[in-house]
Amino acid sequence: MLETAATIPLLDPSSALEPIAHRRQGAVSRQAFLAHVGRTAERLPDSLYTINLCEDRYLFLVGFAAALLRGQTNLLPPVHLDGEIRRIAAGYPGAYCLVDRPHEILPLPQCRLDTFDLNPFLATDSVPNIGADHIAAIAFTSGSTGQARPHPKRWRSLVMGARLAQRRFGFSRGLSIVATVPPQHMYGLETSVLLPLATSVSVCGKRPFFPEDVRRALASVPVPRALITTPVHLKACIKADLCWPKTRLIISATAPLSPTLAAAAEQALDCPVQEIYGCTESGSIASRRTLEGDLWRLYDGLALYEKDISYCVSGGHLAEAVALNDSLMPDGPVWFKLLGRQDDLINIAGKRGSLANLDHKLNEIEGVEDGVFFLPEDDAKITRLSALVVAPHLEKRMILAALAERIDPVFMPRPLYQINSLPRTPSGKLPRHAVRELLARLRSTLANAD
């Protein structure tokens, strides 16, 4: 049905009695939500594109839905730096930002959702339809050349993806979701925006950050509860040693979760920990319970096939096959093992980047003669990139300041070493082992100097 329908309702028609969100003021019914969306849609500027930067998850949800009602497309820049927003907006004339607080130096017109009076006089039962082929959102990945690559998401595909997740996890009616992930990224969008729209679950309007925020957010919503998070947040929550409210399920994604951390989380919150596998291009496509082993199970209707040296996924919510960036090994038609990321791709705290792209940004700084980013493998603490830079006329802080304007904060090198030259081979290649040895030497010199 969904596969061929010309329109798909904004809300799951069978969930009219379930709330859609929980805010400080209390539960928000789907009828009140529709009124909020309708009033907001009337006030949006005329444009084809919007960049929704709302931090309040409920206001994001309202803005996202209102844009759909107006036939607009939600752009999802991977990084919310002004420069990055400007670069992406340049390809989408007329784009404006939806915000819930004033942003001082944002390079685009701002439409403030927090100043709208959302008190509905008329809650409504009438659910609007959205064109199934409408491009509801465009996600972006960073290519190796420094140009962001767009990945359009049609409304049909997003709704079907949410239904596949519902089928996989069997979310019970009335489940409340608390998410630590931003709604602006694919995983956060799928779990905390599309699940409430396309299924019967509701979402907590907050975006908890510190462990104590997460604990309070969980306690503030009705049971059954699910926590949607990342390994970084889960680790912080477990280490904080808090007394957790009753939770039915934890879902983690964006980076591999270690079995040790999964076991600790299952024990602390007394519920199963599931992981989702996916990428910006494909959305979520598989899951596993971390403690049950290293085999991932594809969502229903999806299939893998080999093409050249990598794998593609097709079927399910995907209108076209998508090439996957990870190397993997199928085990029958629905299971597969993840073997690792392809060399150039890195994933730090859920932010995906390409080392080639970071090198490109580093070397474009005036005064940098040569430079390379490197991901150390031996770090006991949270993984950070290191950088080796040849820039005889620049001070370290100048290089760092120039980098801060160009790259996401999670990719900032720590430490950055200034050196005389990189251990390149005569052909100009930079062998990994040579970089690793140089880094080890620099570290031990520094340690001895202290």
Partner 1 sequence: MTHLTDQELEVARLIIDAVYLEDLKVEEIDPEAPLFGTGWGLDSIDALEIALAISRKYGFQLRSDDVEIVHIFASLRALTEHIQKNRTD
| 7-9 and 73-76 beta bridge pairing | unpaired
- The DSSP code for 125 is -
- Binding test (CB under 8 A) with partner 1, winner from 48, 400, 419, 438: 400
User: CB 317 → partner 1: shortest distance, Å?
Assistant: 31
In the complex, least distance from residue 408 CB atom to partner 1, rounded to whole angstroms: 9
- Please name the residue that has the structure tokens 């595909």: 157
Site string for partner 1, 342-381 (x = CB under 8 A): -------x-------------------------------x
Which residue lies nearer to partner 1 by CB, 55 or 370? Answer: 55
CA quadruple 350, 356, 362, 365: dihedral positive or negative?
Answer: negative
Task: Determine, following the binding rule CB under 8 A, whether residue 80 of this chain makes contact with partner 1.
Answer: no
Considering the complex, state which of residue 103 and residue 216 has its C-beta at the smaller distance from partner 1.
216
Residue 48's CB is within 10 A of a number of other CB atoms, namely 14
What would the DSSP string read from start to end of 107-122?
SS-EEESTTS----SS
Residue 415 C-beta: closest distance to partner 1, Å:
5
Closest distance between partner 1 and the C-beta of residue 186, in Å? 19
Question: What is the spatial distance between Cα 4 and Cα 187, in angstroms, rounded to a whole number?
Answer: 25
| Amino acid at position 207, single letter | R
Least gap, CB of 94 to partner 1 (angstroms): 30
Q: Is 401 in the site for partner 1 (CB under 8 A)?
A: yes
Kindly report the number of other CB atoms within 10 A of residue 437's CB atom: 12
Alpha-carbon span 112 to 59, nearest angstrom:
10
For partner 1, the closer of residues 157 and 229 by Cβ is: 229
Q: Identify which range of 165-173, 284-292, 316-324, 396-404 contacts partner 1 by CB under 8 A.
A: 396-404
Q: Are 254 and 270 in contact (CB under 8 A)?
A: no
Rounded-to-integer distance, Cα 142 and Cα 325, Å: 13
Q: For residue 264, state whether it binds partner 1 (rule: CB under 8 A).
A: no
Question: How many residues make contact with partner 1 (CB under 8 A)?
Answer: 28
Among 270, 409, 441, 445, binds partner 1 (CB under 8 A): 409
> Smallest distance from the beta carbon of 232 to partner 1, in angstroms?
6
Reference 376, options 414, 338, 407, 412; nearest CA is 414
Q: How far is the CB of 39 from partner 1 (least distance, A)?
A: 26
Footprint (CB under 8 A) of partner 1, residues 217-236: 232-233, 236
- The yes or no reply on residue 440 touching partner 1 (CB under 8 A) is no
Which one of 43, 86, 239, 432 is in contact with partner 1 (CB under 8 A)? 239
End-to-end CA distance of the chain: 67
Residue 191-220 contact track with partner 1, rule CB under 8 A, x = bound: ---------------x-xxxxxx--x----
Q: Give residue for tokens 């904080």.
A: 240
In the complex with partner 1, which residue's Cβ is closer, 133 or 213? 213
Angle at 32 between CA 28 and CA 35, to 5 degrees: 145
What is the enclosing helix (H) or strand (E) of 296? strand 295-298
Q: Is 242 in the site for partner 1 (CB under 8 A)?
A: yes
Pick 329 or 401: Cβ nearer partner 1:
401
How far is it, in rounded angstroms, from Cα 312 to Cα 139? 19
73, two tokens: 């497309």
The least CB distance from residue 41 to partner 1, in Å, is: 29
Structure tokens at 331: 């085990």
Q: How far apart are CA 221 and CA 284, in angstroms?
A: 25
149-178: contacts with partner 1 (CB under 8 A):
none
Q: 3-class DSSP state for residue 384? A: coil
Would you say 95 or 403 has its CB closer to partner 1?
403
CB of 410 to partner 1, least distance (A): 6
Q: Does 419 bind partner 1 (CB under 8 A)?
A: no
Taking CB under 8 A as the rule, does residue 412 contact partner 1? yes
Q: Does 410 bind partner 1 (CB under 8 A)?
A: yes
Using CA atoms, how far apart are residues 313 and 213, in angstroms rounded to an integer?
A: 37
| Nearest-angstrom CA–CA distance, 125 and 142 | 41
Q: Which residues bind partner 1 (CB under 8 A)?
A: 206, 208-213, 216, 232-233, 236, 239-240, 242, 349, 381-382, 384, 400-401, 404, 409-410, 412, 414-415, 443, 446
